[in-house]
Amino acid sequence: MFISHTFKRPDEDRLYGAIEAGGTKVNVAVGRSATDIVATDRIETGTPTATIEGILGFFEEYRVKILSFGVASFGPVRLDRTASDWGRLIATPKLGWTGASFVQPLIDAYAIPVELETDVSAAAIAEYQFGALRGSRCGIYLTVGTGIGGGIVIDGVPVRGNLHPEIGHIRISRGAADTGFSGSCPYHGDCLEGLASGPAIERRWGTSLDRLPEDHQAHRIIADYLGQACATLALTMSADRIVIGGGVSKVAGLHRAIANRMRYWLGGYLDGPTIRNDTFIVAPDLSDRAGITGALLLAQRADLPDR
């Protein structure tokens, strides 16, 4: 199991490198552990070449001190180490990034171990270890921002299969109040990401959700779509808790509204104390630090001899 290891703590001159790569920005950090960060920076996600140059430039100062790297990448990304394209992005909506890799440049430049997960799975690991998913048998981290993605951990271990969970691309039922918008996803149109992500909201209503009046129909529509997704996750994964982060999720009252719509779509099914509890759908305890904390945990995992 991922979380069952006791991580080594290096001396003051030994560090871990971490990359949390999103579609808009890349957070980078070096730390003595996941909770002892020495330095951080933020790099715009531009072209693959420019972005990788910025990442390597940040770590250059710490070259001789870094033991290993943890990479938490936006997806879809190949996680199977036995695959010839391990670490490479697959058919991503991010223009110009299909086939690009955050992993290979690190291996080429440093020749030290690298551990890879999706950005949302890394955040789920961090919330399981230190935050809102502590004590969960099955915990889910859902991010709603530039895109929508989800990580699922069972006893702290990320769920993988043919690829990794792609929760943002599940189909949902479009409401009668939300017609005339084809959806922003280039692959599916009106999947969850195509209807409820930040770009979908801005294309539909001309601004972000937090800038719209509280009585604007957008709040009800987005809560309903995310509630549908949470109902599906509750039914399929038997989750103990769902953490929802990302920029869109910071709108006041949204978590409660999503929970109410989830219960509506469940229609009384799974009507136990866990589903009724106000702590079933919550904000991340680690706030915006979940992804980079998870990446540092991955780096610590990469440094273990039995990884």
- DSSP letters spanning 16-54: EEEEEE-SSEEEEEEEEETTEEEEEEEEE---HHHHHHH
C-alpha 40/C-alpha 42 separation (Å) is 7
Amino acid 284: pLDDT: 97
Closest of 6, 12, 37 to residue 294, by C-alpha: 37
State the DSSP code for 261: H
Helix (H, G, I), strand (E, B) or coil at 152: strand
What's the pLDDT tens digit per position in 40-74?
999 999 999 999 999 999 999 999 999 999 999 99
Q: Residue ranges of the domains in the chain?
A: 15-121+288-302, 132-284
Q: Nearest 5°: phi and psi at 89?
A: -75, 145
Just give the CATH number of 15-121+288-302: 3.30.420.40
**pTM across the whole model:** 0.91
244 neighbors 142 (Cβ within 8 angstroms): yes
Amino acid 15: pLDDT: 97
- Compare 10 and 307 and report the one with higher pLDDT: 307
Angle at 24 between CA 127 and CA 217, to 5 degrees: 80
C-alpha 80/C-alpha 88 separation (Å) is 10
Could you tell me the pLDDT band of residue 109, with boundaries at 50, 70 and 90? Answer: very high
CATH class of 132-284: alpha beta
C-alpha 106/C-alpha 240 separation (Å) is 36
Per-residue CA distances from 182 to 198, 223, 226 (Å): 15, 19, 18
CA quadruple 26, 27, 32, 33: dihedral sign: negative
The strand pairing partners of 17, in sequence order, are 30, 69
pLDDT at 88 over 70: yes
pLDDT over 70 for what percent of the chain? 95
Amino acid 27: pLDDT: 97
pLDDT at 159 over 70: yes
CB atoms within 10 A of CB 276: 11
Q: Nearest 5°: phi and psi at 233?
A: -65, -40
Helix (H, G, I), strand (E, B) or coil at 139: strand
pLDDT over 90 for what percent of the chain? 82
Cα-to-chain-centroid distance, residue 221: 23
- Interacting residues of 189 by C-beta distance below 8 A, sequence separation 6+: 182, 183
Matching fold, domains 15-121+288-302 and 132-284: yes
Could you tell me the pLDDT band of residue 9, with boundaries at 50, 70 and 90? Answer: very low
Antiparallel, parallel or unpaired: β 148-154 and 66-73: unpaired
- Compare 273 and 188 and report the one with higher pLDDT: 188
Closest of 103, 59, 47, 125 to residue 300, by C-alpha: 125
Amino acid 189: pLDDT: 87
Amino acid 307: pLDDT: 60
C-alpha 80/C-alpha 61 separation (Å) is 31
